[in-house]
Structure formats: C-alpha cells, structure tokens
Amino acid sequence: MYKMASELETMTETRKPKMLAENVNVFYGTNHAVKGITLDLHQDEVTALIGPSGCGKSTFLRCLNRMNDTVASCRVEGRITLDGEDIYASRIDVVQLRARVGMVFQKPNPFPKSIYDNVAYGPRIHGLAQTRTDLDEIVSTALEKAGLWNEVKDRLESPGTALSGGQQQRLCIARAIAVNPEVILMDEPCSALDPIATAKVEALIDELKGRYAIAIVTHSMQQAARVSQKTAFFHMGDLVEHGDTTEIFTAPKQERTRDYITGRFG
Amino acid sequence: MTSSAIFLFLVMLALGSFVFARQKALAGAGGDPAKLHSLPRHYGYFAATCVLLPGLFAFGIWVIFGNSIIEGLILSGVPDRVFEQNGDQATLVLNRIRLAVENPNSPETDPDILAAAAKFQAIYLKGIWAAFVLSISLGLVGLYVAVNRTKPDFRARNKFERVVLITLGMSSVIAIATTLGIVASLLFESLRFFQEVSIAEFVFGLHWSPQTALRADQVASAGAFGAVPLFAGTLLISFIAMLVAGPIGLLAAIYLTQYASQRMRKIAKPMLEVLAGVPTVVYGFFAALTVAPLFRDMGITLGLDIASESALAAGIVMGIMIIPFVSSLSDDAITAVPKSLKDGSLALGATPSETIKQVVLPAALPGIVGAFLLAISRAVGETMIVVMAAGMQPNLTANPFEAVTTVTVQIVALLTGDQEFDSAKTLSAFALGLALFVSTMVLNVIALKIVRKYREVYD
Amino acid sequence: MSDNAKEIKPTDWHSPEMNARIKRRYRKEKWFKGLGFTAVILAAMFLVTLIGRIAGDGLYGFVQTSIELDIPFEESILGNPREMSKADFEENVRRANMLRIIDASLQGHFPDVKSRRDRRELLRMVSTGARAQIRDMVLANPSLVGTTERVRLLASDDVDQLRKGRIDASEPEANRKVKDKELGWYQKLKEEGRVSLNFHTTFLTSGDSRDPELAGIWGATVGSALTLLVTLAIAFPIGVLTAIYLEEFAPKNRLTDLIEVNINNLAAVPSIVFGLLGLAVFLGVMHLPRSAPLVGGLTLALMTLPTIIIASRASIKAVPPSIRDAARGLGASPMQVVFHHVVPLAMPGILTGTIIGMAQALGETAPLLMIGMVAFIVDIPGGVTDAATALPVQIFLWADSPERAFVEKTSAAILVLLTFLIAMNGLAIWLRQKFEQHW
Ligand SMILES: Nc1ncnc2c1ncn2[C@@H]1O[C@H](COP(=O)(O)OP(=O)(O)OP(=O)(O)O)[C@@H](O)[C@H]1O
Ligand SMILES: [Mg+2]
C-alpha cells in the first residue's frame, strides 16, 4: 500500500499535469453536453481537441477557465484542478483564474480601443504594472511574443479593429499573453483566417508551447497534427480517445476515431 | 343637404357602378367568366374607382376650400363699419354671423350681421348644391367612361391594379406632405411675425413679454419678443430632466441587460413600458400636485427659497417621464454589442463591471449618445408637464429653485383662448414653434445618423 | 526569437497586495451592480408613487357624499297635478323654486337656525344639483306632491370633503374652509345617520360642470372616442397603404429614401408642433370648426401616422419571401400577392401597431390645446363637428381648478384614462401573442 502510493508519487513527480479534469460533466439545462471527461494538460505540451461539430469541445474548453459561469443554464460537475487546486472551489477567485488560464476565441474580438490599449487592458485591470514604463514593457513584450511587434510598433495608437483578421487574432493572443497566463485555451483560433495568417498563428503556437500549457480546439486534422503533441478526440460529449498525436493519427485504437480521421463522418 | 350626404351619394353611386359593370362584363361574355380577360369583379372595381376618384376629388375641394370661399364672399359684403366695431377682427365678425345663422332667436340686433347671416345661408346652400352636382356629375362621367370600356377583352384587372398602385404611392406622399405642411405653416406665419419683429431681436433679445405688446400703441414694442429667456428655461429644465433620466435610464438598462435574472427582466421591462405609456398630462398633474409642493416645503425646512413652480420639480418629473425612453434605447445599444467582446474581456479576468465600463459601454457609446440626443429632443419638445408645473414668467436664470418658463409653455399660453391670426402675439407662437421644430429636427437627424452608423458597424 | 525574447515577470497571485487589490475590485463590482439595481428600483418607486398617489385620490372621485333630508313636496310650490294639465304642471315644476322646498326641509331639521344668513349657509350644504334632483323626482312621479319623503340629496363639495376627511376639523377655524357652525350642523346630520358616501354614477354619465360634485367625464369620453374615430379612419388606411407601398412596390430611389428618412423624423417631432400645423392648416386654411373632434382627429392622425407606418412595415417585412414566391408561382399578380397573402399575414402586427398608435393618440393633450378642444363644454358632443373636449384635456382643465374636490375628480379621470390605455395595450399584447408567427 505504502509502496504503491510512493510509486504514484514519483510518477506524478515526473509528469505533474498543469491542469487536470476528472470526470467532468456539463449540462445545458437538460442537455448533457459533456459526459464524464478526464483529461490532463501539461506545461510543455499542446493538446489538440478534435471532433465533429456539437460534440462539446468548446463547452469543455470553457469549463477550464470557468467561462461557462456566464451561461445561466450551464451546470458543471466533476473536478478540475490547476496546479492541484480545484478551480471550482469557493476559495478560488474566477477573476484570478481567468488571468491564469487565458483564452483565445474563434473569431478575433479586439476591443474597440487602440492596439496598445487592447494589450494593456489585462495588465491594467490586474494591476500588473506599477509605472507607465512597466506597462510599455509588458505591451511590447507581449506583442513581440505574439509576433506582431514589427507590424504594429509604429501604429500602437490606431484602433485594434483596423488590423487584418490574422493580425487581429495575433493581437488577441498578445492580449492573453500580456497577463502572463499559465495556460492558454484556444477555440478554433484559425477558423476565420486565411492560410497565410493561419501559418503565422501556428508558428506562434509552436513558439509559445514551451512556456504555457496550451489546449487548442480545431477542425483541421492537419493543424492538429502540425501543432500538437497530444490529441483528444471527442464524440457526442464523450472523450473517445486521448493520447500522443502521432499515435492517434497513425494508429488510432478506437474505430470511431479512425472513421473521423479518415473523413468517414463529421 | 350636408357634406356627408354628398359623400354617401358618391359611395352609393360607386356601389351601383360596381354591380352594373360586373353584370355588363358578364353579359358581354355571354355569361361565361372564362371568356373575360379579368374576373368579373375586376370590371366592377374598375368602374367603382372611375366613379369614386373624380367624385371624391371634387368633394375634397369643397371640404378643403368651400368654407374659406364662402366666408370670403360673406365678409366682402359686410360694411367696414361692422369691422371697426369689432376691432377689425374678421374672426369676431364671422363668429357673430355664425351664431346668428345657427340660432334664429339669437340676441343679435345688428342689421348688417343679420343680413350677412341670411346671405350666408343662401350662399352655403348654393355652394353645397354646386358641390353635389359637380361631384356626382364627375362621378357619372367616370361611370360612362368605365362602362364604355367594359368589354370582354378589356384588361380591367391591370387597369384597376394600376389605380391601386397610384393610390398606394399617393398615400406615402402624405408623410412628406405633412412635413411640408409643418414647415410651410411654421415658416409662413413666422415670416409674417418677423416682418413686425426683427429676427435678431427674437433670437438674442433678453426680454419676453408678449402680453404688453398687445396694447395698440405698443405693437411689437421694443424688447417684448426676446426669446432668450424661453430658450434658457427650456434648456434648464431639459438639463435637469437629463440629470435624472440619463443616469437612471442608463444604469437601469445596464442592470437589466447585464445583471438581472430572467424573472426580474420579465417584471422590469413591462414596468418601464407602463412608465412610458402614462400620458404626459398625468405626469404634469403629478408634478404640480405632489412634487412641486413637496420641494417647496422641503425648501422651507431647509431654509431654501424654492418657488412653487420651480424648474427643479418640472425637470425631475420630466426626467422620470424620459427614463423608459433612455433605458429602452440604451438597452438596444448595449444588446447590439457582440457577446464576443464581453467574453474576450471576461476571459482576461475582468470583473463584469470592469467589462461593462471598459468594453461594453465604449462599444455601445454611439448608440447611447444617440439615445441621449433623442431623449433631449423629447425633453425640449415636451409640453404638458411644463405647462402644468413650470412657471409663466420669463426668467433668465440658471437657478433650478426658481420658476422659469419654456418655449412650449409660451406657445400654449399664446394660443389658448381667443386669438386672431394676425397679431404679433399669436404669430410669435409660430416663430417659437419653428425654433422648436428646427432644434428637435437637428437633434433627431444627428441622433439617427449616429445610431445608424453604429448599427452598420456591428451588423 | 524565442531565445532572446524578453520575459514578463511572473505574477504572484497570492501576494497580499494582489489579494487586497482583488478585494477592492470586487467591492467596486458590488457597488456598480448595486447602483444599477438602485436605478431599476428607483424607476419602480416612481411608478408606484405616481400610480399610488393618483389611485389614492382618484378612488374617492367615484364616490360622493349625500345628505338624506325629509323633503316636503309642497303643493303650494309645485302645483297640484290633479288640477292642472300635464303640460302646465310640468312647466310649473320646472319653474318652481326648489330652494324653498329644501329650505323648508332644513328648517325642520334645524329649527333653531333662524337668521337669514345662517339659513343661506345651511342651504349651501346641499349641492346646487339637488334642485334638479328634486325636480326630476317630481316630474317622474307627480303623485309625490303633498307627501314628505326621505330623499338622498347630493351634498355640496365642502360637506363631501368633510365626509372624506379632507378637511381637518382640528385646525383653527380661520384656516379651514368649513366654519365651526357648519361643522356643528354636519355633526348633527351625521349623528342622525343622514350622511352617507355612495357610488357616484353622475361622474361617469354627465358632462363637465363648475361644481365638482356635478362634474362628469362622459362628455370628454365621447369627445375622445369621436376624435379617435376620426384618427383611426384617417391614419389606419393611409398608414397601412404607405407601408405596403414602401415595403412592396416602391422603387429604390431618392424619393423613397426621402420618404423613409422623413417618416423616421416625423415620429420624433414634438406633438405640439402637430398642433400648430392643425391650427394653421385645418383651422386657418380650411376653416374647419374650432374645438371639434374632426380637427382633433385629423391632427392626431398626422401624428400617429409614423407609428402605424413603422409598425406595419416591420410586420410586412417579417412575412417570409417564400410566401410571396409561392403565391407568385400560382400566377398571382403582384397586387394579388400583396393583398391576398402578405397583408393578411401581416395584419396582427399591423393591428398591434395601430392600437399602440391609438393609445398614444388617446393620451395626447398638447395638440388638442392648439386647436381649441380646451373649452368648458357641458353638453355631450353628438358628432365630429360639435365642440368637444377629450379625456386628457379634461384632466388638464380640472387640474387647473382651485377647488380641492376637483383634485379627486382629476385623479379619478386619470384612472379612467389609464384604464382605457391599459385595456388598449393589453389588447395589443394579446393580439401579438395570439398571432405571433415564428416563420
Ligand atoms: N450556450 C449554450 N446554451 C445551451 N446549449 C449549448 C450552449 N452552447 C453549446 N450548447 C450545446 O452543447 C453542445 C456542445 O456544444 P459545443 O459548442 O461545445 O460544441 P463544439 O464541439 O464546440 O462544436 P463546434 O465544433 O461546432 O464548435 C451542443 O449540443 C450545443 O447545442
Ligand atoms: Mg465550438
């Protein structure tokens, strides 16, 4: 008994997940959208969530930073931890949680403010910068990390909405990075972008993967194969298969996964 | 014979034509509707419109101009002496003639008036018969034309539909005609006013006392028609109203769209609609009866000198009236902000209030500005509350505890009671009306522009 | 790039400063939410105060105080119905000085009131309408002559206010309208059980009057109804036809653009400006009769036109194109498509908009003031060209009266007006819900 526990300890020591969802169920009213999902996200990994439309990917993702709290009919069961701490515990503060677990949406949604103010928004509300130079520093760092700095450094005061779609999406990523999150959730970040912009965002995800735990929802198999190390296949609210991306794409264990990957449905 | 009888005759003639033309069409086709180009009833419709349109045209001319023509004829026959006795007021003379006509045992003794009354009846009878004959004969001409064309191959439906289309187009022109009518009547009377009083005096003058200008030797005496105190009073009361309605309306809209539960919304929205549906005369009564005395008494206990018709009372009640207006327009503006923006802010860890203040409201700002402009225009044009609760004395002050008067109050004061159309006093009401119309119009146009631009951004 | 990129300092989310900051932010959040809640509650309070205040006064407007007196129907004053022809008797009754009868009755009740002045004041405790009351009784039943009957007579407004507790008897005599002497008489009548508060049908069935206890709203109600009738007859067809034209037939050009903008702007023109238009055009140019529902209705029709047009257009637009296509596919002409298919389907929405427009028109006062529907009119108008007033104008007129008793009449009239408005809006809501289509 003792030995088993210590064994487990050493195991978790080596692969301690950044975020861990255990047996998560989500309901919209009576609609059971996510069914008993257990999934872990790791610090230095990109996890791709794939599956046909309506299978609950977004819903699951939105549980991880409690964005589902904003939907009145939504009820979440199960346990989700960030660094071992239950994020649904009353002790946990949503505002902090969402700062630590950033999110990028399907459609770029820059605020109707200047590029600078878009990026500075998060640090300002969380009080991350004491001085204007600190703030400038954070903004430029975030924009650099998002690979946007060179394109916008001369027009930081122009409105964020005036950028191209791909630039807007990278601005949104910069905005998320600026609050220094530990996890980044991306819900189909490239579905509104053209191939060139998509390539840029994918390159960016590659850049970011070492420092953040990243979960990305995508409908593109190629994208999942390109950017992720782990892949989770959802189907009708179930997590059908979860494992190394190469494995899932080359030798899926489940028939449903194989059918989906080969384009038999979905 | 009365005007309504003419109308009834016309309608009956049209009905008869309908039946007749339908029968004739059927008969022409040997009783087989399939041989007709259109359905039998279309021939009927066509004939009926051929009768009604010219007939109603003649009838309309009689209704609109008949009275004025007759009155002109009568008055031209009345000797100058009578006018002089009645202070040169045609309306007074006419009223006396009217009374004499309506009531044969009236105490009227002036022989000229009695003669005019007798003449009036004769002319009126002639006029109405002329109108009758003219409209019915025009109708008959129409009937003749229609019946002549009622042949099986006549495209009755197409013709009839053409007429209907023209009718549709004509009715939509009425909206424009109304605006033109407003502009023309306001401009026309105002121009007459500005022949007596200079525009500069009206727009920049600080002294308003049209009543003193009534005396013959004082017509348009200097300083009597300076409208600045009225403009100032209007602005003061509208400002107070917006101080009440702006924050309360906007905050209520924010709460109802962002925080309130479904149930609370279900109660609060109809409540605001009720508040919006209460007639302004009721608000006026409430202001005069309850709020104004309350403020006056509060002033006494606080040692403040608050007039019993204070701008404050009228302004606050007007503000209450405008709350639903502001809140429903702001509600629209706020709900038009895409949810994705809100989500973006919340996902960064902003609290709801931070999201609202820093993302939602700035995004909805144009819509909200438009709402406020429309609300101001409402306040400026509002009449009953100020008529009942604000004062009559023109008072150039920014002190909300004093009584001020407004443009609308003065319009009502100048035009209720007996009036003649040509005194500077009544004409000044139209000049005020013109100022009111222009300013609200400008506010509306700007507001609608802003709101439309804003909608385009998020559509 | 990743190697030399600058790093953002990691945040210590659990530092005391951060905790304090978050607490502060939540406090602000609470405040803001509270502020919004307060705004909603304030609006609700305004409504409750408004309605409460008016209902509190207004319900008293429907009841009126009466005094029961033993009325001697004296033959010497009224004449003998058996000795005279019916016409003569009726003529005699109409001319008879009923005050003498009431005076005699009061003498019976208050034998110790002797002086002329006191007797006159005593007489003032019953309404001036009491004379007509007695006259009508005798005319209806001539056999009353010679008898003495206990009759319930309308009390004067002072007595009425006393009964309703609006006059505070504990105030010093100089400060109140009713003097000690009258108070004593009132108390005596009250102790004898002769003072009662009854439902007052006169208020609902008669026209205006200078005496609050005789004033009614029927005249104004009929005036409003006639006015609305004219408004409806003009605004409904023109509004609907315009909407049909703009939505279904109008070519997209400068003129129709102009009409659109124009309608939107017209909807926001202050109502008093429409009054000025009515005054200048309907009275000034067309010389239609002043103070008449015809002119009021025409003016209000122009005012409600935009409301009806906008609602009708929305309703027509909501009919899906597939229905038009289906009808067109069956060979219907454009006109038939519109009048046989689109308009019937859009009708509930059109009617809803029309009713709401009518409700607006019913509550409107200012334009009617401009065209003279603001006179003191006792008679019930019989047609659209008779001089008349309207409910909101009646409210305005009564609100201006100095008598305290008119306050409750005004409030009662407001309750009646609000009842009509609620009924109309209720009907509109019912229509909307009943026929609401989800295409
Ligand atoms: N706000 C909501 N209210 C009610 N039901 C919802 C809501 N959002 C999603 N659902 C339901 O939950 C289920 C899962 O939806 P979800 O958006 O998570 O799917 P998804 O996998 O992200 O699909 P897609 O690939 O199309 O984005 C669906 O049946 C959907 O109808
Ligand atoms: Mg999704």
* Cross-chain residue pair A141–C11, CB shorter than 8 Å: no
Q: Which two tokens stand for residue B423?
A: 């005194």
- The answer to whether B262 contacts chain A (CB < 8 Å) is yes
Verify that B335 and B254 share a domain, yes or no.
yes
Residue identifier of the C-alpha nearest atom 26 of ligand 1: A53
Q: In angstroms, how far apart are the furthest CA atoms of chain B?
A: 96
- Angle between helix axes B311-335 and B262-277 (nearest 10 degrees) is 140
Q: For the residues B248-276, what does the mean pLDDT come to?
A: 91
Considering chain C, what percentage of its residues have pLDDT values greater than 70? Answer: 97
Question: Would you say the CB of residue A90 lies under 6 angstroms from ligand 1?
Answer: no
Q: Kindly indicate whether the domain formed by A18-110+180-261 is annotated with CATH number 1.10.640.10.
A: no
Is A65 within 8 Å of B344 when comparing Cβ atoms?
no
pLDDT value, residue C307: 92
Residue in A72, A97, A172 nearest the CB of B344: A172
Confidence at residue C34, expressed as pLDDT on a 0 to 100 scale? 95
B349 touches chain A (CB under 8 A): yes
Token pair listed for B69 = 């023509």
Task: Examine residue B212 and state whether it is found in any structural domain, yes or no.
Answer: no
CA pair distance A27, A22, nearest whole angstrom: 16
Question: Which atom number of ligand 1 is nearest to the Cα of residue A52?
Answer: 25
> Using a 6 Å cutoff on CB, does residue A33 contact ligand 1?
yes
B345/A contact by beta carbon, under 8 A = yes
Q: If pLDDT is split at 50, 70 and 90, which confidence band does B24 have?
A: confident
CA distances from B62 to B52, B56, B129, C288 (A): 15, 10, 11, 12
Ligand 1 in reach of A50 Cβ (< 6 A): no
Map residue C152 onto helix, strand or coil.
strand
CATH of the domain at B310: 1.10.3720.10
| Cα-to-chain-centroid distance, residue C173 | 36
CA distance B82 to B63: 28
Q: Is A28 in the pocket of ligand 1 (CB under 6 A)?
A: yes
Residue B395 inside a domain? The answer is yes
CA C416, C419, C422: angle at the middle one, nearest 5?
A: 155
Range C38-62 average pLDDT: 90
Provide the pairing of β-strand A85-86 with A74-82. antiparallel
CA dist., res. A191 & res. A201, Å (int)? 11
pLDDT over 90 (residue B244): yes
Q: What is the pLDDT of residue A47?
A: 92
Pocket flag, ligand 1, residue A218 (CB < 6 Å): no
CB distance A75 to ligand 1 below 6 Å:
no
3-state secondary structure of C436: coil
Residue B246 has pLDDT above 50, yes or no: yes
Where is the domain boundary, B130, B154, B178?
A: B154
Residue A209: closest C-alpha in chain C: C2
Give me the mean pLDDT over the C51-68 stretch.
87
| Nearest atom of ligand 1 to the alpha carbon of A234 | 21
Q: Which residue of A has its CA nearest to C11?
A: A180
In contact, C361 and C304? CB cutoff 8 Å: yes
Answer whether C12 touches A (CB < 8 Å). Answer: no
Confidence of residue C126 (pLDDT cuts 50, 70, 90): confident
Q: How far is CA A110 from CA A106, A167, A175, B338, B359, in A?
A: 12, 10, 9, 11, 10
Whether chain A has a CB inside 8 Å of the CB on B347: the answer is yes
**Residue closest by Cα to atom 18 of ligand 1:** A56
User: CA of C100 to nearest chain B CA: how many angstroms apart?
Assistant: 32
Q: Quick one: C218-435 is in which CATH superfamily?
A: MetI-like (1.10.3720.10)
| CA of A106, closest atom in ligand 1 | 27
B75 vs A23: CA distance, rounded Å: 97
Question: Residue C99 region, left (φ>0) first, then alpha (ψ -120 to 50), else beta?
Answer: alpha
| Predicted pLDDT at C28 | 93
Q: Is A105 in the pocket of ligand 1 (CB under 6 A)?
A: no
Across the B:C interface, residue pairs with CB atoms under 8 Å apart total 266
Chain C, 22-41: which have a CB under 8 Å from a chain A CB?
22, 25-26
pLDDT for the residue numbered C39? 94
pLDDT of residue C306: 92
Q: Do A178 and C22 touch (CB under 8 A)?
A: no
B164 within a domain of the structure (yes/no): no
Domain ranges in chain C?
Answer: 16-61, 63-199, 218-435
Record: contact C396-B388, CB cut-off 8 A: yes
In DSSP notation, B256-277 reads IIII--HHHHHHHHHHHHHHHH
A180 vs C1, C10, C26: nearest CB = C10
Does residue B303 lie in a domain region? Answer: yes
* Sequence-distant (≥ 6) Cβ neighbours of residue C131 within 8 angstroms: C98, C99, C102
Q: Specify the DSSP class assigned to residue C26.
A: H
Position B221 pLDDT exceeds 50:
no
The distance of Cα B300 from the centroid of its chain, to the nearest Å, equals 41
Residues C314-361: tens digit of each pLDDT: 999 888 888 888 888 887 788 888 888 888 888 888 998 999 999 999
Residues of A in contact with C17 (CB under 8 A): 127
Q: How far is the CA of A54 from the centre of ligand 1 (A)?
A: 5
Nearest CB to C5; choose among A99, A144, A179: A144
For residue C243, give the chain B residue with the closest CA.
B172
**Any atom of ligand 1 within 6 Å of the Cβ of A59:** yes
pLDDT value for A3:
45
> Residue B363: which of A98, A112, A121 has the nearest Cβ?
A112
Q: Residue A181: phi, psi to the nearest 5? A: -75, 170
pLDDT of chain A, 266 residues: tens digit per residue: 444 444 444 444 457 888 998 999 999 989 998 898 899 998 888 999 998 888 889 999 999 989 988 888 899 998 999 888 888 888 888 888 998 999 999 888 999 889 999 999 999 999 888 889 989 999 998 998 888 888 898 999 998 888 888 889 889 989 998 988 889 999 988 887 888 888 888 888 888 888 889 999 998 888 888 899 999 999 888 888 898 888 888 888 888 888 888 876 64
Q: How many CB pairs below 8 A link A and C? A: 41
Q: Which are the contacts of B228, defined by CB distance < 8 A and separation ≥ 6? A: B203, B204, B205, B206, B208, B396
What lies within 8 Å, CB to CB, of A41 at 6+ separation is A17, A18, A19, A20, A47, A64, A183, A213, A214, A215
Which ligand 1 atom sits closest to the C-alpha of A188?
27
- Spatial separation of the C-alpha atoms in residues B389 and B282, rounded to whole Å: 11
Gap from CA of A58 to ligand 2 centroid (Å): 4
Domain boundary among B103, B121, B154: B154
C148 with C72: CB under 8 angstroms? yes
pLDDT of residue C63: 86
Closest ligand to C-alpha of residue A37 is 1
Predicted confidence band at B452 (pLDDT cuts at 50, 70, 90)? confident
| pLDDT of C250 strictly over 50 | yes
Nearest CA to ligand 1 atom 14: A56
Report chain A residues whose CB lies below 8 A from the CB of C6: 137, 140-141, 144
- Using CB atoms, pick whichever of A97, A107, A122 lies closest to residue B340: A107
pLDDT above 90 covers a percentage of chain B that reads 25
Question: Contact C67/C155 with Cβ under 8 angstroms?
Answer: yes
For CA atoms B97, B99, B105, B110, the dihedral sign is negative
Ligand nearest to the CA of A33: 1
Q: How confident is the model at residue C100 (pLDDT cuts 50, 70, 90)?
A: confident
pLDDT at residue B267 greater than cutoff 50: yes
With contact defined as beta carbons under 8 Å apart, do A29 and B262 qualify?
A: no
Cβ(A62) – ligand 1 distance below 6 Å: no
Does residue B436 form part of some domain? yes
pLDDT confidence of residue A265: 60
Centre of ligand 1 to C-alpha A57, Å, is 8
CA of A85 to the centre of ligand 2 (A): 26
> Cβ–Cβ of B262/A72 closer than 8 Å?
yes
- Residue located nearest, by CA, to atom 6 of ligand 1: A28
Query: Quick check: B312 and B403 in contact, CB under 8 A?
Result: no
> What integer is the mean pLDDT of B144-173?
81
**Residues B286 and B316 sit within 8 Å (Cβ to Cβ):** no
Ligand 1 atom closest to the CA of A26, numbered from 1: 12
Is 90 exceeded by the pLDDT of residue B354? yes
Q: Point out the ligand 1 atom lying closest to the alpha carbon of residue A55.
A: 21
B306-324: per-residue pLDDT in tens? 888 889 999 999 999 999 9
| Region class of A149: left (phi > 0), else alpha (psi between -120 and 50), else beta | alpha
One domain, residues B33 and B113: yes
Say how far apart CA B429 and CA B414 lie, in whole Å.
6
Tell me how many domains chain B contains. Answer: 2
Please state the rounded mean pLDDT for residues B101-110.
72
Instruction: Please answer yes or no on whether C369 and B416 come within 8 Å at the CB atom.
Output: yes
pLDDT digits (tens, 9 = 90+) for C361-385: 999 999 999 888 887 878 888 778 7
Task: Write down the pLDDT at residue C2.
Answer: 42
Which protein residues have a CB closer than 5 Å to ligand 2 (ion)?
A 58
Task: Indicate which residue's Cα is closest to atom 30 of ligand 1.
Answer: A54
Residue A239 neighbours by CB distance under 10 Å: 22
Distance between CA atoms of residues A239 and A59, nearest Å: 13
Q: Where are the alpha helices (DSSP H) in A209-240?
A: 221-227
Of B154, B173, B191, the residue that ends a domain is B154
B204, containing H or E segment: helix B199-204
Mean pLDDT estimate for chain B: 84
| pLDDT, average across residues C47-60 | 89
Choose one of A25, A26, A28 to mutate for the ligand 1 pocket test, by most ligand atoms within 8 angstroms of C-beta: A28
The alpha carbon of B430 is separated from its chain's Cα centroid by a whole number of angstroms, namely: 14
Full residue range of the structural domain in which residue B400 is found? 224-458
- Is residue B114 located within the same domain as residue B228? no
Mean pLDDT for B339-356 is 92
Instruction: Provide the pLDDT confidence category of residue B1 given band limits of 50, 70 and 90.
Output: low
Give the residue carrying structure tokens 């405790």: C125
Of the listed ranges B52-66, B266-280, B339-353, C344-358, the least confidently predicted one is B52-66
Which pLDDT score, from 0 to 100, does residue C92 have?
Answer: 82
Residues of A with Cβ-Cβ distance to B350 under 8 angstroms: 95, 121-122, 125
Token pair of B295 as six digits: 């403020």
At residue A8, the pLDDT reads 47
Q: How is residue B148 written in tokens?
A: 């002549």
